[in-house]
Amino acid sequence: MNEEFNKAEEILDQIKSAEPTNVEELENFRIKYLGSKNEIKPLFSKMGSLKPEDRKAYGQLLNKLKNTAEERYNTLKPALEQREKQAEYRDIDLTAPPAPIKHGARHPVDIVMNRVISIFQKMGFLLAEDREIEDDWHNFTAMNTPEDHPARDMQDTYYLRDFEGLLLRTHTSSVQARVMTSAKPPIRIIAPGRVYRNETISARSHCQFHQVEGLYIDRDVSFADLKQTLLHYAREMYGPDAKIRLRPSYFPFTEPSAEVDVYWGLESETDKRITKGTGWLEIMGCGMVDPQVLENCGIDPSEYSGFAFGMGIERQALLQYRIEDIRWLFENDIRFLKQFHPAI
Ligand code: DAH
């Protein structure tokens, strides 16, 4: 009978002294003493060969074996798992500085637009933003382009199908009418924003783009004021040596009207191509506000005069960044956009 007891005591000692040091060794411990083919099980079958008076003590000893194995397993398991987890982090340098946060980049249209706005704000122009869905009166009629006026063909318009008289504004000049009908002179505003025209999309033109409109109305505003303001703009935008020229043109809302070119140069082949061999690039339309427009908007033309201008932003963004195709500006391709830095 001693033999069975000795064997059991021996296993009990092994259980007590086992020191699994990692999760894998612990699993081996579990298989050995608690698994379906554990080493304690065969000891139970020895029960029958024992003297009846020894069986109780033997049974108790075997139970103790099982319980001890279970207890050891249950206390070792969380400790070893925790240690394993910590080991995973051991190689991480907690004092290292974090990886830099990736900054977004500003959209090139936004960069150019902000520069234009800031140049005019420094000259005292206030920001006037207004709606993109406009009515016919503010977009056309007030701007001296009544229905059937041939100049309406200059801007192919998107009309809202189920909303009589509403359209997507074709130019920011509509904001001139908005401001003049709600404020009294002196008025000095710039109106940046998106405009829409039903044009075929190509490398050079798009059905949506951005403009910045300018309007200055006061007593004795002259064409000389307009020229000086635009020259100052060009020098701020294109450098202190920038040159501009004004060519006579036609807009229904200004008289006289002009188009403004900035001198781009003729050095490279690209210069020649984008300026069509002239060296000059058109960047905006402008003129003295037609007295009829003032009158349409409730301002007395015998007391006040003013100038206005409207410039395209995409055009200038293409120039400044040498972007070949206007469509890139609207495709939101991250590979394109991330090249522009947020500095300005
Ligand atoms: N609205 C014109 C356009 O979109 C641009 C323009 C020309 C605006 C002359 C003006 C202006 O304010 O005076 O083509």
Q: How far is the CA of 172 from the centre of ligand 1 (A)?
A: 8
Tell me how far apart the alpha carbons of residues 64 and 67 are, in angstroms, rounded to a whole number. 5
Residue 121 pLDDT grade (very low, low, confident, very high; cuts 50, 70, 90): very high
The pLDDT of residue 260 is above 50: yes
Question: Looking at the DSSP assignment, which residues form a beta bridge with residue 311?
Answer: 212, 284
**Where does the pLDDT of residue 212 fall: very low under 50, low under 70, confident under 90, or very high at 90 and above?**
very high
* pTM, rounded to two decimals: 0.72
Task: State pLDDT tens for residues 29-43.
Answer: 999 999 999 999 999
Least confident of 150-159, 257-266, 301-310: 150-159
Residue 99 pLDDT grade (very low, low, confident, very high; cuts 50, 70, 90): confident
Q: How far is the CA of 282 from the centre of ligand 1 (A)?
A: 13
Tell me the per-residue pLDDT of 235-250, one tens digit each, with 9 for 90 and over: 999 999 999 999 999 9
Strand partners, 214: 190, 309
Average pLDDT, the chain: 92
State what percent of residues in the chain have pLDDT above 90: 70
Q: Which residues contact 78 (CB under 8 A, 6 or more apart)?
A: none
| The two three-digit tokens of residue 132, written as one number | 């993109």
Locate tokens 């061999």: which residue? 277
Topology classification of domain 108-337 = BirA Bifunctional Protein; domain 2 (3.30.930)
Q: Which atom of ligand 1 is nearest to the CA of 310?
A: 8
Question: CB atoms < 10 A from the CB of 278, how many?
Answer: 12
Average pLDDT over residues 46-53: 87
CA of 266 to the centre of ligand 1 (A): 27
Average pLDDT over residues 52-60: 90
Q: How far apart are CA 340 and CA 318, in angstroms?
A: 13
340 in Cβ contact with 322 (< 8 Å): no
Residue pair 206/326 in contact (Cβ under 8 Å)? The answer is: yes
Structure tokens at 273: 């191509």
pLDDT computed for residue 278 by the predictor: 93
Token pair recorded at residue 128: 């006037």
C-alpha to C-alpha distance for 283 and 261, rounded to whole angstroms: 6
Nearest to 308 by CA among 194, 216, 223: 216
Going by the DSSP 8-state scheme, the letter that residue 159 receives in this structure is: B
Longest dimension (CA), the chain: 131
Q: Where are the domains of the chain?
A: 2-90, 108-337
Of 110, 106, 123, nearest in space to 235 by CA: 123
pLDDT score, position 338: 86
| 175 CB near ligand 1 (under 6 Å) | no
Measured CA to CA, the distance from residue 72 to residue 15 in angstroms comes to 8
What is the pLDDT at residue 1? Answer: 52
Tell me the two tokens of residue 310. Answer: 């409207």
CA distance 174 to 296: 13
Q: What is the pLDDT of residue 139?
A: 96
**308 in contact with ligand 1, CB cutoff 6 A:** yes
Identify any residues that bridge with 189 across adjacent strands, giving them in sequence order: 126, 215
**CB-side neighbour CA atoms (13 Å) of 119:** 20
